[in-house]
Chains A and B, each alone.
Chain A
Amino acid sequence: MDRRGFIAAAGGFVALPLIGGTLLSMGGCDISGTKPSRPLQLWTLALAPFEAFILEQIAKFEAANPGARVEWTDVPFDAIDRKLLASAAAGRAPDVVNMSDRTFARFVSMGAMVDLLPLVGQEARATFLPGALRIGEIDGKLLAVPWYLTTQTVLANTAMLAAGNITLKTLPRTWAGLLAIAPEFHKATGDYLFSIPLGYESDLPMMFLAEGLVPLREELDGSGKPRLRSDLDRPAIAEYLTKWVDCFRADGLPRESVTEGNAHQSRMYQERRLAVINIGPNFLKRISDVAPGVFAETAVEPPIVGALGRSHISVMVLAVTRQTTNALLAAKLAMHMASAEAQLEICRRGVVLPSVISALDDPMFQMPDPRVLSDQAAEVKRRIHTGQAVTSRALRDGTAFTASLECWPDLRRAFEDGFKKVLLDGRPLAKMLKETSAEWDRIVATSNGDMSAIPRPEPLRGAGAMGTVGAGEANR
């Protein structure tokens, strides 16, 4: 090779990665209008087991919208935040993304979503359960449509309860009732009666609302305009939290409840270290697979509720991100996936519930006949079906106890940070509430929203005793 050839080859070798890298990075640029055939990117959350369902729905959508193409990516539950942030930072966020109500609130605060109302019209709102739709309605915009829902059911290990002299009839059906006997149960058995995430991924902000303890209030500012203010340090909330702190300090709750989030409940239940968990009925399948002994001792009961008597609904939403290059088509895709037909189909294939009002009358959501099935596989199916029926009943009265406030994730995080220190570092609760309340005031001062964003349903008749299904009914 002569000198020129050598220099040309070296130059080419250097230039190639640079040009390639530049071209690759251009792939993330907004090319709206220039390439209508660019496939829509659809991200779902932990739906890999429903691959056939998703592919069928995509095929139907593509057939109904000639020229449209959809590329599907399933993202693990734990990775959605990180992956969506990273892709958005690179300018490659998906067009349509499925996320949980918690994750959704966080991305709303970043201005990540497109308002769907101008794209799908007001009439679309009427098809969804109001309690589920509320999650996506923020500041008069529709930033997401509800997809499938999950609500909780109680799984109780009857053998463990018996060891602590508790039966399904005497098992308290409210959080307050469980807190009162949990330390005694631990002393008697060495195991834990129940647990919820208290610190990391804390359920408590949601449970304030389920107890009818609204931690925010409205106040008029200097110009007479209503502004949100923290009400976290009011005596009723302090009293409520004191019960949890006392129970934790008396070893009535495991330390994992502070640090391990939701994951600790299922793990400890499988290990026979936790007698009662409030969880989605799909977990029954996992127990039957990995811990058949525990499954045999498990009874399915109505969910534990707060003072309002209403169970919490977790809403999976579909949203269109701001980085989409075709918002109209993306909104169409979201509505297609959330249609009544598609929702019933996913409910048939998994233990989830629909967010479309008309779908709840389907026979699938009626209680199964306990006399029909008897072998082990059928028993698993029967119990899962029971769980689904129990939760669908709870759904009619349930509420998504998640405030539709952009700043709700920040408020939750501030609470979690403070409450962890109360539980693990022994910080006084009153001091923490005062400090966190000041932090909340700082957060809400820089955010939009009013009290209408906070779910404040009326208590159910007879609330505090049980949910919407009689105790023991589910196990008959």
Chain B
Amino acid sequence: MSSLRHKAATPYLFLLPALAVRGVVYVYSMGRVVYLTMTRDTTFVGPDFIGLDNYATVLSSGQFWICVANSFAYLLVTPVLIAVSLGAALLVDSGLRGANTLRLPLFIPVVTPTIVAAVAWRLVFAEDEGLVNSGLRALGFDGIRWLTERPWTLVTAMTVTLWKGFGFYMMVFVAGLLAVPRELREAAMIDGASRLGVFRLVVLPAIWPSIILVFLISSISALKVFDELFVTVKGVPIEHQTIVPLVYEYAFGRGNFGIASAMGIVLFVIILAFSMVHLRLARKGEQEAAR
């Protein structure tokens, strides 16, 4: 009996070190952030407990809600990201000659540091002499204020997110596609299904969990976007940006960790709610498809 209990406890003992580190890193940090949300400018002077005032300030701030709205607008990058990465995965998995060798070049953006990518894209979108505007002008159009005018500031950052992210999601889809039995596709084709039909009726349901996963991860990343905006459009009014740059501005621009932490907690709640709703809908969709 005692030996059985010992055996049951063993895995948990192995997990303990990791859980302890995680506890310190996550639980303590989270607790500290929650505490900061209830204080005012404590950096040098010491704690000044103000209850829930910071939350009231954040929730009544027009600037905060504009940035939240921008964060949700930024979610528009997600369907494009899924379409592009799924398209790239289908190409790589198509069996066409040389298609497999595309994996490496398509994956390069993923391993490129975001800062480097954003700086490069900043040059591409430069308003006076950038590649895009030079091209537009050569075609007889006016240049676009990619780096300074709303909503183009968001579009510029979204382009960097798209370019930087699609390679990773492509690999997720490729893994999903490899798990689809070739016999199923062949059987469908023998039964007279077109290529589109095979994709719609065989491949898509099989990789649906991958699509859900990519949608969820890329949506959460989009809501938390920072690097791309920080490098490409830093300096534009904060109302042109999303919620995390606003948090950064309050924490490190104004030194107001209380407000910044309160914004962080509200953002956490928003992302949690978004993810739960999304997962529930996805599960429902999956169940209906199974029926």
Give me the interface of A with B, judged by CB distance under 8 Å: 3, 6-7, 10, 13-14, 17-18, 21, 81-82, 85, 88-89, 93, 106-107, 110-112, 199-200, 254-255, 258-261, 273, 321-323, 410, 413, 417, 420-421, 424-425
Within the complex, what minimum Cβ distance (angstroms) separates B225 from chain A?
A: 18
Task: Give me the 6 closest cross-chain CB pairs, A-B, nearest first.
Answer: A259-B235, A200-B235, A112-B44, A14-B20, A10-B13, A111-B45
Q: Are B13 and A7 in contact (CB under 8 A)?
A: yes
Which of A107, A254, A259 is packed against the most chain B CB atoms within 10 Å?
A259
Taking residues whose C-beta sits less than 8 angstroms from the other chain, chain B's interface range is 20 to 34
CB nearest to B239 among chain A residues: A421
Residues of chain A within 8 A (CB-CB) of B234 are 200, 259
Cβ-closest chain B residue relative to A111: B45
A260 & B235 in contact (Cβ 8 Å cutoff): yes
Given A10-B13, A85-B255, A424-B148, is A110 in contact with B43 using a C-beta cutoff of 8 Å?
Answer: yes
Residues of chain A within 8 A of B235, CB atoms compared: 199-200, 258-261
Interface residues of B in 136-156 (CB under 8 A from A): 145, 147-150
Q: Are B236 and A17 in contact (CB under 8 A)?
A: no
13 contacts between A and B (CB under 8 A): A3-B6, A6-B13, A81-B253, A85-B255, A110-B41, A110-B43, A199-B235, A255-B127, A258-B235, A273-B128, A417-B238, A424-B148, A425-B150
Interface flags for B57-79 (1: CB within 8 Å of A; 0: not) read 00000000000000000000000
Q: A36–B276 Cα gap in the complex (Å)?
A: 55
Judged by a CB distance under 8 angstroms, whether B273 is at the interface is no
Tell me how far the C-beta of A453 lies from the nearest C-beta in chain B, rounded to whole angstroms: 20
Say which residue of A6, A13, A110, A273 sits within 8 Å of B255 (CB atoms): A110
Shortest Cβ distance from A219 into chain B, in angstroms? 27
Is A323 a contact of B236 with CB atoms below 8 Å?
Answer: no
Contact B45 A110 (CB under 8 A): yes
Q: How far is the CA of A343 from the CA of B272 in the complex (A)?
A: 56
A424 and B17 contact, CB distance less than 8 A: no
Q: Is the CB–CB distance between A421 and B43 below 8 Å?
A: no
In angstroms, Cα B148 to Cα A200, docked, is: 12
* Inter-chain contacts of A322 with B (CB < 8 A): 44-45
Q: Quick one: closest A residue to B36, CB to CB? A: A89
Contact pick for B148, options A13, A112, A259, A413, CB 8 Å: A259
How far is it, in angstroms, between the C-alpha of A201 and the C-alpha of B150 when the chains are bound? 20
* Shortest Cβ gap from A55 to chain B (Å): 29
Interface centre among B149, B237, B240 (most CB of A within 10 A): B237
A93 touches which of B44, B238, B240 (Cβ 8 Å): B44
Q: Establish whether residues A259 and B145, one from each chain, have CB atoms under 8 Å apart when the complex forms.
A: no
Choice from A14, A81, A111, A424 contacting B237 with Cβ under 8 Å: A424
- Tell me whether B16 is interfacial, beta carbon within 8 Å: yes
- In chain B, positions 199-244 with a C-beta closer than 8 Å to chain A are 233-240
CB distance from B239 to the nearest CB of A (A): 8
A259 touching B24, Cβ below 8 Å: no
Q: A18–B149 Cα gap in the complex (Å)?
A: 49
8 Å CB contact of A82 from B21, B45, B252: B252
Residues in B neighbouring A107, C-beta threshold 8 A: 44, 255
List the interface of chain B (C-beta within 8 A of A): 6, 13-14, 16-17, 20-21, 24, 41, 43-45, 127-128, 145, 147-150, 233-240, 251-255, 257
Chain B proximity of A216: nearest CB distance (Å)? 21
| Residues from chain A with Cβ under 8 Å of B253 in the complex | 81, 413
In the complex, are the beta carbons of A10 and B237 less than 8 A apart?
no
The docked-state distance in angstroms from the alpha carbon of A107 to that of B13 is: 47
Q: Is the CB of B252 within 8 A of A85?
A: yes
* A89 x B43 contact (CB < 8 A): yes
Kindly provide the distance from the CB of B23 to the nearest chain A CB, expressed in whole angstroms.
Answer: 9
The distance in angstroms between the C-alpha atoms of A417 and B255, with both chains bound, is 17
A residues within 8 A CB of B24? Answer: 17-18, 21
Q: How far is the CB of A307 from chain B (nearest CB, A)?
A: 28
Set of chain B residues within 8 Å of A425, measured between Cβ atoms: 150, 237
Query: Within the assembled complex, what's the spacing in Å between the Cα atoms of A152 and B234?
Result: 26
For the complex, give the distance between the alpha carbons of A243 and B13 in Å: 72
CB atoms of A17 and B20 under 8 A apart: yes
Chain A residue with minimal CB distance to B149? A424
Report the bound CA distance from A410 to B149 in whole Å.
Answer: 25
Closest A residue to B145 by beta carbon equals A255
State A106–B252 Cα separation when bound (angstroms): 11
Identity of the chain B residue whose Cβ is nearest the Cβ of A421 in the assembled complex: B237
Docked-complex contact B20 and A88, CB < 8 angstroms: no
What's the nearest-Cβ distance from chain B to residue A99, in Å? Answer: 13
Does B237 contact A110, Cβ atoms closer than 8 Å?
no
Tell me the smallest distance from the CB of A95 to a CB of chain B, in Å.
Answer: 13
* Shortest CB distance B214–A (Å): 33
Task: Give the distance in Å from the alpha carbon of A254 to the alpha carbon of B128 in the complex.
Answer: 9
- On chain A, the residues within 8 Å of B251 by CB distance are 85
Check A88–B238 contact: CB distance below 8 A. Answer: no
Closest approach, in angstroms, between the C-beta of B53 and any C-beta of chain A? 14
Contact of A10 with B233 at beta-carbon distance under 8 Å, contacts A85-B252, A255-B148, A424-B149 already known: no
Q: Taking the nearest CB of chain B, how far is it from the CB of A161, in angstroms?
A: 20
Give the docked Cα–Cα distance between A111 and B44 (Å).
6
Contacts of A10 in B (CB 8 A): 13-14, 16-17
Residue among B16, B145, B236 with the highest chain A CB neighbour number at 10 A: B236
Q: Report chain B residues within 8 Å CB of A273.
A: 128
Additional A-B contacts beyond A81-B255, A255-B127, A260-B235 (16; CB < 8 A):
A18-B20, A21-B24, A88-B44, A107-B44, A112-B43, A200-B234, A254-B128, A258-B236, A259-B147, A259-B233, A322-B44, A410-B254, A417-B237, A420-B237, A424-B148, A425-B237
**Complex Cα spacing A410 to B239, Å:** 18
Complex contacts, B44 vs chain A, CB 8 Å: 88, 93, 107, 110-112, 321-323
CB of B3, distance to nearest CB on chain A (Å): 9
In the bound complex, do residue B21 and residue A258 qualify as a contact, i.e. CB atoms below 8 Å apart? no
Alpha-carbon distance A106/B254, docked complex (angstroms): 8
Shortest beta-carbon distance from B193 to chain A in Å: 53
Contacts of B254 in A (CB 8 A): 410, 413
**Cβ of A288 to closest chain B Cβ, rounded Å:** 25
